[in-house]
Amino acid sequence: MSRNSGRFIAIAVVLVLAGVYTILRDRQGPDTGVPEAVAVAPAPDPASAPAPAPEPAVTPEAADLGLSIQIAGEANGTVVIDLLEDVAPGHAARIAALAKSGAYDGVVFHRVIDGFMAQTGDVTFGKSGGEGFDMRRAGMGGSDLPDLKAEFSDIPFERGVVGMARSQSPDSANSQFFIMFDAGPFLNGQYTVVGKVTEGMEVVDAIKRGDARANGAVLGEPDRMVAVTVTGE
């Protein structure tokens, strides 16, 4: 082989080696000296992730509007009444307002008929211990608020039901109410049902009875509502 041919082969080998080096270099990552890594999606930033929806607040159910009546006399104890706002909203609101103002405190049970009902609520003439109190006038008055339009319903008058007393006019109920000792179906649809006794019916049963010959008028010292407070507000 001539000297020139040997030089040509040497140059060719150098060129081939240079090409191989270039190919290997191009397969490496920039400035790292290691093969390029497969692209991977970056992990989400916790700070930028949407916050979970807050749990809905739990609102406690409102307690039912009612009365707590402390009774003294032959009967002694507490009677709890649930006022039926959904049945007779106007009458329930009236009783609650009078009770809240203290108008019922000291008012007597002026008419009590055995086997029928006990009536009270005359805030004008029925307050015992007041100046000029006359039991003979108890039951003749009401509050100074307007009379209420009837709110009759299909709820029957049964034991423990509370009804609104009225005169001959259906729209004359004002402040007086009565509690049933026993069922009185003849009252159904004729008087407004405003509530029901939920506790203390044994106290109601012990209320001093009136004279049957005097349409249930109580003679002597009557039982009374010492304090009437509103519950469930």
Is residue 26 in some structural domain? no
The model carries a pTM of 0.74
User: Mind listing the pLDDT tens digit for each residue in 121-161?
Assistant: 999 999 998 778 999 999 999 999 999 999 999 999 999 99
Tally the domains of the chain. 1
Is residue 198 in some structural domain? yes
CATH code at 141? 2.40.100.10
Is residue 45 in some structural domain? no
Is residue 85 in some structural domain? yes
The secondary structure of 19-74 as a DSSP string is HHHHHHHHTBPTTTSSBPPPP-PPPPPGGGSPPPPPPPPPPPPPPPPEEEEEEESS
11 pLDDT band, cuts 50/70/90, is very low
CA distance 113 to 124: 22
Is residue 164 in some structural domain? yes
Domain enclosing residue 209, as ranges:
66-231
Is residue 206 in some structural domain? yes
User: Mind listing the pLDDT tens digit for each residue in 44-97?
Assistant: 454 555 565 555 554 445 568 999 999 999 999 999 999 999 999 999 999 999
User: Mind listing the pLDDT tens digit for each residue in 191-206?
Assistant: 999 999 999 999 999 9
Is residue 122 in some structural domain? yes
Q: Across residues 98-126, what is the average pLDDT?
A: 98
Which of these, 141, 151, 86, lies nearest to 119 by C-alpha position? 141
Identity of the amino acid at 77: G
CA distance 187 to 195: 15
Is residue 167 in some structural domain? yes
